[in-house]
Chains A and B, each alone.
Chain A
Amino acid sequence: MTDVATDYRQMWADLGLNLSMHDALLEAVGAMYGSTFMTQKNRPEGMGYLDFVMSEVHGLRIKELDDFRKSGGKVVGTYCLYVPEELIRAAGAWSVGICAGAEWAYDEVEQILPRNTCALIKSMMGFKLGKVCPYLEEADLLVGETTCDGKKKAYEELGKMQNLHVMELPQMKREKDVAFWRSELVDLIAKLEDLTGNTITAESLATAIKEVNDKRRALQRIAAARAADPAPISGLDALLAVQVAFYDDVPRFTASMNALADELEKRVADGVGVAPKGAPRILITGTPMALPNWKLHEIVEKAGGVVVGEEMCTGSRYYEKLVAEEATTVDDMLDDIASKYLDINCACFTPNTGRIDDVIRMARDLGADGVIDYALSFCGTYQIESAGVAKAVQAADMPVLRIETDYSAEDVGQLSTRVEAFLEML
């Protein structure tokens, strides 16, 4: 064990991490994981894989990336699920989601970005400025996107520090926008081919499409199992699965999630659950929850509720829709990829009524007793959509709680009171 630990420290040092700060981060996340996840009762055995992944979150996976790069492979870091993992994999590179979910180095961040910036963006910058993220440092190329104003401008700063390609995500979904988005995919391909020295072929792209679809299918099975009462898996565990999906080894992750899904389906057949039958069932919708942001799920589930679904990027938007698998040419596959990705209902698009339909449908399909609309402070798009979501949920005869928060522990008490009262109300 000592040898492995020494290997990691040298690896982290070679990546240029601030070792003492990094130690502090790992310790904090480890402690959080213990108190948040390991205290849960009756967890599916299949979660053992994710527990292992988390215990090695900056260890084994980084070593895999490191070895891959040493053998000539390239790693591409992404911040948003609009960036197609299929294209990255088809070029022979590995895609790693590095969107961030913890407050870090805010003093330094606030010298570059306004204090009133959303936590997700500040965290992304903080992990870079604080030199505590090995995934970031392993990335040969970062890909950003013009999803929102905050990210758009923050990438200008990040781009000064690391090799960064920004894709322009359209703001609307008309035919001309899909065509434009497709042209952005073409540009991304050129960038990836230049980075890796590989050419994306119909074969490599078809394989990548299938692999990523298989990953989504496994997550779809897990999501479907959560419709059962009692729920066979906690919201915390299901959320973690999607968070890890963004960066884990694809075939291994898919196989492990399918094994987990098998176990969940058996639990459903046997009526085995993690919360008592009749525990209040909650659907959470809103801004994504990047690793290690587990705050709201923990509050809901420690208060006796069970989260049965997430209408968010670290949730249904990640796995709900597949890329069509019938195409045989790169051109046709690009059409399919462009249209599937643009079909994701994020608030950065206008109009975004599809999201409201998704929320109502998911609430019904998952047997939710109530909906929590979650928006990060200073997130203009999701905060503005919140009122419309709440109104639609109430019109569908379901109670809704609107939460606005950040990554800090400061308001956990107040949020707990609201969530507990909401559960008392159901």
Chain B
Amino acid sequence: MRVLGLDIGSRTVDAVWVEDGRIIEAVIADSGFDPASVAREFVTRGGFDTLVATGYGRHVARESFGGEVVTEIKAYATGAGALFPTAGSVLDIGGQDTKVIALAPGGRFTDFEMNDKCAAGTGKFLEVMARALGYSLEEMAAAALAAEKSVAITSMCTVFAESEVVGLAHRGEDRASISRGLHESIAKRTMTSLARIGASGPLVFAGGVANNAAMVELVRAGFSGEVIVPDAAQTLGAYGAALCATVAAE
């Protein structure tokens, strides 16, 4: 049975075609202002017997295309559990939200926490800061990784942190140190969330921000346990959603 897993987010729509637990194809597209139509393009490509949608647009997807829905929590837990059966927890830092999940054997989960009320600590935060510092996302991560010291950022709010960063740069603080400080601020919030759910290792670090080498280094340094970054970190949600299909092929 071939399943199409769709993760319809506000930044990207991810589509993963899965057969017998293996990824046949994975595609990431920008959501634009009409994520449903981006999802529709994937659906009309066909090549699946059933579909499972997750993410912020999952209910709209079900109404438009049928299929099943699961929350991003279950999708990530299932995906992480399938790829790494000994995993203890999941960290997903996405474009606009972050989540931490405590796993139980068999892809199940026992606790979770989401931050989706505020952009602080998400990919959005990094995008805004990169622009303020005149970096691309990759350049900013590389600078943070190479920096010898860091400058602490005190603002939690993305908007105010941007002002703070601009202020620091004008005062002559070095961009790389500021970058490292920004990444450390996200890592700190992340560690607090993980502690609150009693996350144990190995930790599967997924979501778009897992592609950021500086974040990975800081999460590894802050977490007491192994940190695994899957190859398909960003599409773990769509992959996990596909695995959740319960409907047998007609």
Q: Pick the contact of B71 from A399, A411, A420 — CB < 8 Å?
A: A420
Number of A-B residue pairs having CB atoms within 8 Å of each other in the complex: 30
Q: Please, what's the 1-or-0 string for B41-74, where 1 marks a CB less than 8 Å from any CB in chain A?
A: 0000000000000001000000000000011111
B108: A residues at CB distance < 8 A: 425
A421: B residues at CB distance < 8 A: 71-74, 112
Q: Pick the contact of A417 from B71, B110, B111 — CB < 8 Å?
A: B71
Instruction: Report which A residues bind B (CB closer than 8 A).
Output: 399, 411, 413-414, 417-418, 420-421, 424-425
The chain B residue with its CB closest to the CB of A417 is: B71
B70: A residues at CB distance < 8 A: 424
A414, B116: Cβ atoms closer than 8 Å: yes
B144 to chain A, nearest CB (A): 30
B56, A425: Cβ atoms closer than 8 Å: no
A177 to chain B, nearest CB (A): 36
Cα distance A411–B56 in the bound complex, in angstroms: 12
B117: A residues at CB distance < 8 A: 411, 414
A420: B residues at CB distance < 8 A: 71
**Interface residue count for B (Cβ, 8 Å)?**
14
B71-91 contacts to A, CB under 8 A, are: 71-74
The chain A residue with its CB closest to the CB of B78 is: A424
The 6 closest A-B pairs by CB, nearest first: A421-B73, A421-B71, A424-B74, A420-B71, A414-B116, A417-B71
Asked if B27 is at the interface of the complex by the 8 Å CB criterion, the answer is no
A424, B114: Cβ atoms closer than 8 Å: no
B60 to chain A, nearest CB (A): 11
28 A-B pairs (CB sep. < 8 Å): A399-B110, A399-B111, A411-B117, A413-B56, A414-B114, A414-B116, A414-B117, A417-B56, A417-B71, A417-B72, A417-B73, A417-B114, A417-B116, A420-B71, A421-B71, A421-B72, A421-B73, A421-B74, A421-B112, A424-B70, A424-B71, A424-B73, A424-B74, A425-B73, A425-B74, A425-B108, A425-B110, A425-B112
Asked if B125 is at the interface of the complex by the 8 Å CB criterion, the answer is no
A82 to chain B, nearest CB (A): 33
A418: B residues at CB distance < 8 A: 114
Cα distance A225–B33 in the bound complex, in angstroms: 48
Cα distance A411–B115 in the bound complex, in angstroms: 12
Cα distance A425–B72 in the bound complex, in angstroms: 12
Interface centre among B71, B73, B74, B116 (most CB of A within 10 A): B71
Given contacts A424-B71, A425-B74, A425-B110, 10 further A-B contacts (CB under 8 A): A414-B114, A414-B116, A417-B114, A418-B114, A421-B71, A421-B72, A421-B74, A421-B112, A424-B73, A425-B109
The chain B residue with its CB closest to the CB of A414 is: B116
A413: B residues at CB distance < 8 A: 56
B110: A residues at CB distance < 8 A: 399, 425
Cα distance A106–B119 in the bound complex, in angstroms: 26
Cα distance A11–B172 in the bound complex, in angstroms: 70
A411: B residues at CB distance < 8 A: 117
The chain A residue with its CB closest to the CB of B74 is: A424
Cα distance A420–B114 in the bound complex, in angstroms: 13
Cα distance A399–B116 in the bound complex, in angstroms: 22
A417: B residues at CB distance < 8 A: 56, 71-73, 114, 116
The chain A residue with its CB closest to the CB of B109 is: A425
B114: A residues at CB distance < 8 A: 414, 417-418
A258 to chain B, nearest CB (A): 39
